[in-house]
Structure 1
């Protein structure tokens, strides 16, 4: 597919996840940096993402927001990168990618904000208890090297990013399984390239304030 990809991001955001995925595919893309509270909330970008948040990508006429969706979309749009699931890998691929995007992120955010759901209301909340989310995450990254088995996929970009972020900022438990998994998935050229690009862009973004 030759349609141009425009990547909307800020180097100090979840856009780092999408950058990693873009680098994994190896396809060319154009980056547009947006600033929190100003260009991110301006009409031009709200027409791309009404939430006024990054990241987002525009691929031709197609717009995709939400990091997990961007990872899944890119894997399917560029099959030569071999990051999409095979037929027998779809179960764990989608299961754990969406677990990380939903219950895991909710549990981690609740804990970071100091919110503990009342015990008699746990059935109302999709993530359950924090320790249950941690146990489920450990199951996702244990037993096989990667989420679907022996092969790295886009699910590892997303799940791995959640694990790496959590370990760095102390928002998830430093269990050996999490540390081992993060070492495996972050030991990739695409991750190093993406990190270097975003780290280099941080001073320019900070100088705008």
Structure 2
């Protein structure tokens, strides 16, 4: 059993964790799961009963949920410098959980073309799409990164924003576009994109199971 195993599909949020793994630089084994078969099989159900990807197994311990995986990897491999000191993590935690909370909810509701009406917004953790993006413009307006340098929080936040821009879900303000461009201008990001692109092409080219 590999010390670090990554469970993913190249056409999933696993792309975020792939980028994080390339930033970390530790060796890892990848298991590509098929949505219709292996993702729902008993072997992966034992890893994640939710039958969702991505997930990692490191030294026998399983971690799921994108933000949790990225935060875990930043701590497990401190030499990569992807988390600030324990005494300086206020912004780091705020932004990484903003990404997995309000922004993720906005992403999901945007995908089904639903934005809570004004009288229902207090029932949702993000309030509304407009509120989330107005807040992000303020939160990112005077900084290059979440902390004084690129971190796992930037990786998660820029990935979520980048997905939404790529899929045409948002145009993005100049502030957000510049932030995503700055965060993704990294060798590890380019390596991860190439790996997942090639994996997706291999899946497409593979003969269908009889």
If the TM-score is normalised by the length of the shorter chain, which range does it land in?
A: over 0.9
Asked if 1:169 is matched to 2:167, the reply is: yes
Contact 1:107 1:127 in 2 (8 A): yes
Q: CA deviation digits over 1:95-154, x for unaligned, max 9? A: 111111111111222122122323222111111011001112223332111011x30011
SS in 2 for 1:126: coil
Q: Using the TM superposition, give the Cα deviation of residue 208 of structure 1 relative to its aligned residue in structure 2, in angstroms.
A: 5.2
| Structure 1: runs of 5 or more not aligned | none
Query: Deviations for 1:60-84, whole angstroms, at most 9, x for unmatched residues?
Result: 1110011100100000001111111
Q: In 1, Cα distance between the equivalents of 2:4 and 2:31?
A: 11
Pairing 1:104–2:103 present: yes
Task: Within 5 Å, give how 1:69-108 maps onto structure 2.
Answer: 69-108=68-107
TM-score by length of 2: 0.93
Look up the match of 1:56.
55
- The equivalent of 1:182 in structure 2 is 180
**8 Å CA contact 1:108, 1:172 repeated in 2:** no
CA distance in 2: counterparts of 1:22 and 1:172, whole angstroms: 27
1:176–1:208 Cα change, 3 Å: farther
Q: How many residues align?
A: 206
Question: Quick check: 2:54–2:65 contact (8 Å CA) kept in 1?
Answer: yes
- What's the secondary structure of 1:32's corresponding residue? strand
Q: Is the Cα–Cα contact under 8 Å of residues 11 and 201 in structure 1 kept in the other structure? A: yes
Give the structure 2 partner of residue 39 of structure 1.
38
Does the C-alpha gap of structure 1 residues 185 and 31 become closer, same or farther in structure 2, counting only changes over 3 Å?
same
SS state at 1:63 partner: strand
Instruction: Determine helix, strand or coil for the equivalent of 2:122.
Output: helix
- Whether the 8 Å contact between 1:75 and 1:82 is mirrored in structure 2 is yes
In structure 2, C-alpha distance between the alignment counterparts of 1:180 and 1:156, rounded to whole Å: 13
Name the counterpart of 1:129: 128
- 1:118 maps onto 2:117 in alignment: yes
4+ aligned runs moved over 6 Å, structure 1: none
